[in-house]
Amino acid sequence: MRIKTFSIQIFSLAFALTISTSFAPVTEDSFGVVKETQSLSFNTDGLFNAEFFDYIFRGQFENVKLTREDNQFLMLFEQYLRTFGRQCPNNLPSSKVEIMNWVCATEEVITNGYGIETSRTCIDWTTVGSGLYARRDLYAAKLSVEKIQSAEVFRNTLAQMADPNAIGNSVDMIHKTNGIRNDMAQLFSLNRCDSPGVRRFEENLKAFALNQPGIRMKEASKYTTMKVSGGPTGSQNLSRLVDDLVTNHSKTWAFNRYVSGSISGLTVQSKDSQGRPRELNANYRYKGFGASAAGSVRVTFDNGLPKCIYFFDFPNNCKTPNSSIVASYAQGNYAN
């Protein structure tokens, strides 16, 4: 038999961030454009999505690997708005709007012949206020992305079902979600809420979401520069590099905990014409459910720079190395 019950269950993508900061209101001219009274900069060093943030800030959309149709972009956009609303409420304009949460309005509960519940499914959704606020134009842009992505749900679901690496990609999404959470915990420690750099980032974030050209900076991103110049030659401390890469990525792991400094048995499998690594393998230790265990990692390189990290449990699932670490390696900071 089927029984319909009505309840409100909060369904929210918001992360539990507890840090709250307030700054003086942003100075605007009559058109709402920030008066750039200080150097225009936007610090992304150390962030999991450093390249994304930097390319959006610079308006260099051709270098952004994500598209507005990607779920990860919507997650980044959503969490940015919520983080700003939580940490920078005094910097929102008077025309701010409330960010809404999706909640279940009607559930369908199925029971067996003994009256025991066997399944519970939401069949009707509505929205309620989250208590957080955002710029009206930014929130409207986010809603437009939601509308685009909702039309792609069925197609994306079929693609995921047909993907032979579906489980690995599902785990990777957990890592990306944790990476976004970690980024949001740091973003407004690296950048003032009322800085011109933050406002420029927001204007370009809106433009990217609406498929419009951004406000482009002439100066190339350091992440673009390093890819052109490539990795360093000569003797490099690859064990320290891999330790830093794994340490950074382990911050997004759901259960296991990496034992820092445990890289061992590193072997370079192949090199390019300049003697730089193409691929290397190494072992490491991690703690899972209270016990210490051994793992292995494979790192591939492109133009002498780390490109993909493959862990032993999902050997076909490429994890993107932290851009700041790769940039540091490109600058020769790991030389012996």
* pLDDT one-digit tens code per residue, 128-186: 999 999 999 999 999 999 998 886 654 554 455 455 555 445 666 777 888 899 999 99
**pLDDT over 70 percentage in the chain:** 82
Question: Residue 171's pLDDT is what?
Answer: 63
- Judge whether 307 and 301 are in contact, CB under 8 Å: yes
Structure tokens at 301: 């390189």
| pLDDT of 266 higher than 70 | yes
- Long-range contact pairs involving 208-211 (C-beta distance under 8 Å, separation at least 24): 208/56, 208/61, 208/64, 208/68, 209/68, 209/73, 209/77, 209/141, 209/142, 209/144, 209/145, 210/141, 210/144, 211/68
Between β-strands 257-258 and 264-271, what pairing exists: parallel, antiparallel or unpaired?
unpaired
- Mean of pLDDT values over 310-321: 92
| pLDDT of 99 higher than 90 | yes
How far does Cα 121 stand from its chain's mean position? 29
Of 48, 215, 73, the C-alpha closest to 145 is: 73
Residues 6 or more apart whose CB falls under 8 angstroms from that of 11 comprise: 101, 102, 103, 104, 125
Structure tokens at 207: 């433009």
300: β partners:
279, 308
* pLDDT one-digit tens code per residue, 58-67: 999 999 999 9
Structure tokens at 114: 């003994």
Domain range summary for the chain, segments of one domain joined by +: 2-219, 230-330
End-to-end CA distance of the chain: 71
Question: Residue 172's pLDDT is what?
Answer: 65
Question: Residue 20's pLDDT is what?
Answer: 29
- Mean of pLDDT values over 307-320: 93
Question: Residue 161's pLDDT is what?
Answer: 45
How far does Cα 216 stand from its chain's mean position? 22
* pLDDT one-digit tens code per residue, 5-48: 333 333 333 333 322 222 233 333 333 344 443 469 999 998 99
Question: Residue 254's pLDDT is what?
Answer: 80
Question: Residue 170's pLDDT is what?
Answer: 60
**pLDDT over 90 percentage in the chain:** 70
Coil, strand, or helix at residue 129? strand
Structure tokens at 33: 């454009």
Structure tokens at 336: 């012996």
Which residue carries 């393998």 as its tokens?
A: 281
314: β partners:
311
Coil, strand, or helix at residue 41? coil
Of 34-43, 109-118, 229-238, the one with minimum mean pLDDT is: 34-43
Question: Residue 18's pLDDT is what?
Answer: 29
125: β partners:
104
- Judge whether 196 and 40 are in contact, CB under 8 Å: yes
Torsion of CA 276, 281, 282, 288, to 10 degrees: 140
Question: Residue 163's pLDDT is what?
Answer: 52
Q: Considering the entire predicted model, what is its pTM?
A: 0.75
Give the mean pLDDT of the chain.
85
Question: Residue 177's pLDDT is what?
Answer: 86
CATH topology of domain 230-330: Nuclear Transport Factor 2; Chain: A, (3.10.450)
